[in-house]
Amino acid sequence: MSATGIGAAVRRKEDQRFITGTGNYTSDITRPGEVRAYFVRSPHAHATIDKIDVSAAKRMPGVVDILTGADLAGDKIGGLICGWAITSKDGTPMKMGAHPAIAADKVRCVGDAVAVVLAETLLQARDAAEAVQVDYGVLPAVVDPAKATAKGAPQLHDVAPNNLIYDWHLGDKAATEAAFAAAKHVTKLDIINNRLVPNAMEPRAAIAEYDQGNDALTLWNTSQNPHVARLVISAFVGMAPEHKLRVIAPDVGGGFGSKIFIYPEEVVALWAARRVKRPVKWVSDRSEAFLTDAHGRDHVTHAELATDANHKITGLRVHTIANIGSYMSTFSSSVPTYLYATLLSGQYAIPAIYAEVDAVYTNTAPVDAYRGAGRPEATFVVERLVEVAARELGLDPAEFRRKNFVTSFPHQTPVIMTYDAGDYDASMTKAMEMIDYKNFGKRKAESEKNGKLRGIGFSTYIEACGIAPSQAVGSLGAGVGLWESAEVRVNPTGSVEILTGSHSHGQGHETTFAQLVSDRLGVPIDTVSIVHGDTDKVQFGMGTYGSRSGAVGMSAISKALDKIEDKAKKVAGYMMEAAADDIEFKDGKFTVKGTDKSVGWGDVTLNAYIAHKFTGGQLEPGLKEGAFYDPTNFTFPAGCHLAEVEIDPETGKITIANWVAVDDFGNIINPMIVEGQVHGGIAQGVGQAMLEGAHYNADGQLVTGSFMDYAMPRAADLPSFKVDTTVTPCPSNPLGIKGCGEAGAIASPAALINAITNAVGHENVPMPATPSVVWKAAQGGMKKAAE
């Protein structure tokens, strides 16, 4: 392994600009003559818009224009769409209500835009926004997904009677019912997977500029996938043809899924820029972000697990109500279906699984993918069921898991997925050693001596990443293919530019992708640059989410590098008067097999461009190759997290005493970056399990609408983590990579709740397990113990 090649903990190339304050985030950009946009947003969760009077506001200082939903409709700007078609049990398509970028007739959640003010300065735009008069006809609201389909519930969209978008199912119902009928023991749980606000630290932003001479638009935005944004804004919104629309996502300050989606503000900025013929800049406030960024999770689930007399799991069934919010966000339909129910087999050989999912509209912010997206929800269901079943059966949770692990591969689950490789016992065993599981009892006794409760909890998770084979996702309703593209441009002097359709917003692609190139071509890492996030530079790409950039994005680069190597060998062949087949390439040197004749990388790249030695006109000059890589399967990262907590029963305070994560991500490019991804994922999962919860009151007001009210994990809430890996290479891509971006967030909530419930001695601990929740649980647990 070279110091900068695959497997090395190379320090990140992108850090120089971030630690010196010279990054280039969207909100850092100003365009000459720009106006600032500020949105007038609904204070009501559900209301008709009876009248909008902008006349007084328009006369205020600095106001350039004020635009409404009627203006948008007048200019025939289309609405936003959800790009994944889900079909209900009865074969009917999902019921997608219209989603105009500015509401015209009715608002459906607090924060729905009703007008946009364009002014010379942000303060002027804000002042004028307050002077826009909107007459609302306030309607009753529904925020609880479990009540959305009830008789008499307020109706959001005419196309979706009873607020039901789809009732979908997966698996073999009859076989599952038979398994439960024959079960020796059935474990039942009611679970609320709490609603979360993604809260990337950089709030969303959009700057749009109209080039009148060429009738072309440019959008700078905070996007995880600028090409998909361009496609949707062009093909569905109808803003401009694709070749007349450039989307640039520069440095992006975190995404976690929330910046995958195409949002109203981007559409409005483009449209407004063309109308007023000046650049338009919009930057979200954090308060706006809480109201308008797509939220995550929000499932209400009943789940059951059947076991036989030998403690083998024989069946699993769930019914889930998924809150989609007020509108269907870009990929919202896929999250509680194909990203959720397909993972309900966990790491276990379960012969029969049946899942039913009802997706419902409510008067809340749209809900879509958030780190893990469906897989955290599935893992929480499975890992809570398994842990509770072990407790009910009087078994050690590790033993019960071992008894039911999938041990031979490939393994076909009853819910679509074919697991390709893994060793689940290896990661669990290693995690148990790292946390000193066998001495947990001693530590528990020690805690008890001090009046504290102690608990330990497992989460042996699996996820499907590397999203995904285009044919497979197409057959499941995806409106797009999920391949990735790469272009390798080698300059005459031997430096290399990689153009990728993946997008880095914290993942460190400028380093890891360069490591691959350095490894393959034997060139110094500093001579490799990674270009991403600009539709004018990169031809097309599907962006970054679902831990796909390594498994899919880097595989595309690898494929393009294969072609570069082939071409370079031909060039070297002309230079050394040998056949390309006789050329070996290693460590940046081309050698004629069996001879000491060789030429270096820089000689070959220069000769590729001067082309003086290409006789016969059979070899094109230049050294540039592209590739599209479409995976043949999902990848299946898996592993074991173990959480150990100490609880003060008098205050409900939880101290995370130990956290161990052993993950199998397949081959690893940069272990430092991988560990960082695990740390961050655990923090978000711990946040979900003990701190975070987006709460709407019955009127639809978000009462956790700022960092004052919504508990983001802070440094003192978390411990240092013990992180390690086991490796079974992924057989379905050339690099053997599985992906690491989401595992921490997927695994950790179940581990923590399993630890807390183990400590308090009963299962009734909802998320987030705040001190008040845990205090009540601990008091109840002690009462139960005393009885």
Partner 1 sequence: MPNVTVTVNGKSHTVDVAPETLLVELIREKLRLTGTHVGCDTSQCGACVVHVDGAAVKSCTMLAMSADGATVTTIEGLANGSTLHPMQEAFREHHGLQCGFCTPGMIMTAVDIVNRKGGNLDEHTIRDELEGNICRCTGYHNIVKAVGAGARAMAGGGKSAQAAE
Q: Which window, 16-24, 344-352, 449-457, 513-521, contacts partner 1 (CB under 8 A)? A: 16-24
Site string for partner 1, 618-657 (x = CB under 8 A): ----------------------------------------
The reply to whether 202 sits near partner 1 by the rule CB under 8 A is yes
The reply to whether 200 sits near partner 1 by the rule CB under 8 A is yes
CA dist list (Å): 229 to 82, 151, 224, 496, 585: 12, 38, 9, 28, 40
196: which strand partners? 296
Q: Which of 8, 12, 221, 541 binds partner 1 (CB under 8 A)?
A: 12
CB of 663 to partner 1, least distance (A): 14
Within 270-299, the residues that bind partner 1 by CB under 8 A are: 285-287
**Single-letter residue type at 749:** P
Tokens of residue 776, six digits: 């009540």
CB 768 within 8 A of CB 657: no
Q: Please, which residue, 123 or 785, has the CB nearer to partner 1?
A: 123
The reply to whether 174 sits near partner 1 by the rule CB under 8 A is no
453: which strand partners? 647
The reply to whether 663 sits near partner 1 by the rule CB under 8 A is no
Site string for partner 1, 507-546 (x = CB under 8 A): xx--------------------------------------
Dihedral of alpha carbons 59, 62, 64, 66, sign:
negative
Output DSSP code: residue 94. P
Within 110-129, the residues that bind partner 1 by CB under 8 A are: 123
Q: Please, which residue, 507 or 732, has the CB nearer to partner 1?
A: 507
HEC string of 456-472 equals: EEEEEEECCECCCCHHH
Q: Please, which residue, 698 or 703, has the CB nearer to partner 1?
A: 703
Strands 313-325 and 299-307: antiparallel
The Cα 206–Cα 279 span in angstroms is 10
The reply to whether 689 sits near partner 1 by the rule CB under 8 A is no
Q: Which of 214, 617, 720, 786 binds partner 1 (CB under 8 A)?
A: 720
The reply to whether 679 sits near partner 1 by the rule CB under 8 A is yes
The reply to whether 684 sits near partner 1 by the rule CB under 8 A is yes
Within 721-760, the residues that bind partner 1 by CB under 8 A are: 721, 744
CB of 711 to partner 1, least distance (A): 11
Identify the CA nearest to 566 among candidates 552, 579, 556, 554. 579
CB of 715 to partner 1, least distance (A): 4
Within 487-506, the residues that bind partner 1 by CB under 8 A are: 505-506
490: which strand partners? 496
The reply to whether 25 sits near partner 1 by the rule CB under 8 A is yes
Contacts of 612 (CB under 8 A, 6+ apart): none
702: which strand partners? 696
Q: Which of 109, 116, 252, 468 binds partner 1 (CB under 8 A)?
A: 252
The reply to whether 16 sits near partner 1 by the rule CB under 8 A is yes
Identify the CA nearest to 279 among candidates 209, 221, 216. 209
Give the SS3 label for residue 419.
Answer: strand
Identify the CA nearest to 630 among candidates 736, 540, 733, 509. 733
The reply to whether 253 sits near partner 1 by the rule CB under 8 A is yes
Identify the CA nearest to 507 among candidates 697, 156, 255. 255
Q: Please, which residue, 154 or 685, has the CB nearer to partner 1?
A: 685
CB of 377 to partner 1, least distance (A): 20
Residue 164: CB atoms within 10 A of its CB come to 17
The reply to whether 718 sits near partner 1 by the rule CB under 8 A is yes
CA dist list (Å): 732 to 141, 413, 666, 670: 48, 18, 11, 20
φ/ψ of 187, rounded to 5, equals -105, 135
Binding residues for partner 1 (CB under 8 A):
11-12, 14-23, 25, 27-28, 30, 123, 199-203, 251-254, 256, 285-287, 505-508, 672-673, 675-676, 679-684, 706-708, 712-716, 718, 720-721, 744
